[in-house]
């Protein structure tokens, strides 16, 4: 027996957090009955329908994509724009772990494994996310120190982070800055720089935990190795 939201996540339908939301909204049926209790347990032999779809367990798949600009981080789009899922050649119902903005590029992981997704997204794991931002204007040490100590965005202070000036282009009045954060708040990096007076012209995520863009051009992807998957699962075991 296991919790319904965990079973849905393990079946590859969505993340456990999203599964919990669907249960609360009455979008999940077990043997023909709508279930809204998060504590509900199942054996896996039941007929489980999620948002109108009959649930069947899928073989797990894991991908690392070098997300290009102009592609949205979602599974479907009502405006028929290209999504990150469209770039992956698979018949499985995969979804992105977290999100990158439409104009942000770089490391993006996709899977149909809800537990794997939860480990990477959980704030307790402190997974490092490394970004490089091209800024309008020349950033100074004072602003960098403010970022390091945690600026306030959306009424909440960000955690302390690592920030390094990579180079400045005085001719074009731009700066290139790397920043390492552990949180995953909406538009966080752009809002952090805005809080110290700078507009982000370009943003690239170079690393998430152990995953980098090594060997991948823009728009290219690869499957994760069994070793990489086991390393992420070992984080959970270490809790």
Q: pLDDT value at position 237?
A: 55
Number of domains in the chain: 3
**pTM here?**
0.78
Residue 101 maps to which CATH number? 3.30.70.580
Range of the domain at 42: 2-54
- Residue 238's pLDDT is 52
CB 176 within 8 A of CB 138: no
Say if residues 221 and 88 touch (Cβ distance below 8 Å): yes
Mean pLDDT by 10 residues, the chain (239 residues): 86 83 94 92 90 85 97 90 95 92 97 89 87 98 97 95 97 98 92 98 97 97 96 76
CATH of the domain at 154: 3.30.70.1560
Q: Does 68 lie in the same domain as 14?
A: no
> Angle, nearest 10°, between helix axes 114-121 and 226-237?
60
Residues 94 and 154 placed together within one structural domain of the fold: no
| CATH code for the domain in which residue 40 is found | 3.10.290.10
145 and 94 housed in the same domain: no
Euclidean distance between CA atoms 15 and 20, whole angstroms: 9
Residue 45: per-residue pLDDT:
85
Together in a domain, 44 and 67: no
Q: Are residues 83 and 201 in the same domain?
A: no
Tell me whether residue 51 is one of the annotated catalytic residues: no
Among 51, 86, 101, 169, the active-site one is: 101
């Amino acid at each position: 027996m296991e919790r319904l939201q965990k079973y849905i996540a393990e079946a590859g339908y969505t993340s456990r957090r999203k599964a919990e939301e669907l249960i609360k909204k009455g979008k999940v049926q077990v043997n023909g009955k709508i279930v809204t209790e998060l504590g509900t347990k199942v054996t896996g032999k039941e007929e489980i329908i999620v948002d109108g779809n009959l649930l069947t367990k899928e073989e797990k798949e894991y991908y690392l994509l070098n997300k290009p600009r102009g592609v949205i981080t979602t599974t479907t789009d009502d405006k028929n724009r290209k999504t990150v899922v469209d770039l992956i050649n698979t018949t499985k119902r995969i979804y992105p772990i977290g999100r990158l903005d439409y104009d942000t590029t770089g490391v993006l992981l996709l899977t149909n494994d809800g537990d794997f997704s939860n480990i990477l997204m959980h704030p307790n794991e402190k997974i490092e996310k490394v970004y490089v931002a091209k800024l309008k204007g020349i950033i100074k040490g004072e602003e960098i120190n403010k970022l390091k100590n945690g600026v306030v965005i959306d009424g909440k202070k960000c955690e302390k982070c690592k920030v390094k000036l990579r180079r400045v282009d005085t001719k074009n009045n731009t700066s290139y800055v790397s920043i390492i954060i552990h949180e995953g708040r909406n538009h966080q990096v752009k809002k952090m720089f805005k809080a110290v007076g700078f507009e982000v012209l370009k943003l690239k995520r170079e690393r998430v935990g152990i995953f980098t863009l090594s060997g991948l051009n823009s728009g290219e992807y690869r499957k994760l190795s069994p070793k990489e998957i086991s390393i992420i699962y070992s984080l959970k075991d270490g809790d």
